Structure 1
């Protein structure tokens, strides 16, 4: 892995509000906001203004966050996963296989429109992991 795991927060349509809240609380900077409507990915029109991915930074504090599709449930307090930026496709596949063996696959490991190999797995202890290998960096 390239660095420490990054907390990834998920919201039910409130990611933009959360970004502003954390910006004010921590006096930080909002980075790289992309909505579902801006993405090269088929989404329902009611999701167009929801945040697909955003980043927040204040010094060493770094958070990523997104909204769900409309109608998907988010349990407050359990709306966090750990994002890992992997060093190779092989490392990503290996970790995905190990985590999913006794866990639950939330998104199959696959090539994405953002140029990465990505998968999401909830492990045997209920911890959710986002595995991302950016191919075109």
Structure 2
């Protein structure tokens, strides 16, 4: 029974982690050498910091490009997005009650932050 749970958790981790790691060599390398749940969470947290910096630059650039009411709208949307990301990932990070939830929750924050950074970058263009 324990072996089956472990295999199922490892498979779930592989499926969830592959979304970010597939396009991110640094994250993939970190995850490939991670031996514990704490290591995997650490990989996600480390890459989230990188993506959060990217998001902040993209947000400032997008905000500076907005005029009038659109500037306030973007500020409001970004505040709501942060609340949504945090609530959504807290939910994702509490699905099973097991340690895999920590990996899933931190992976969710990473994925959503990376996606939002790209969305903000797309507002301004290359």
Q: State the TM-score, normalized to the length of structure 1.
A: 0.21
Q: State the TM-score, normalized to the length of structure 2.
A: 0.23
The structure with the largest strand share of the pair is 1
Higher alpha-carbon Rg: 2
The structure with the largest helix share of the pair is 2
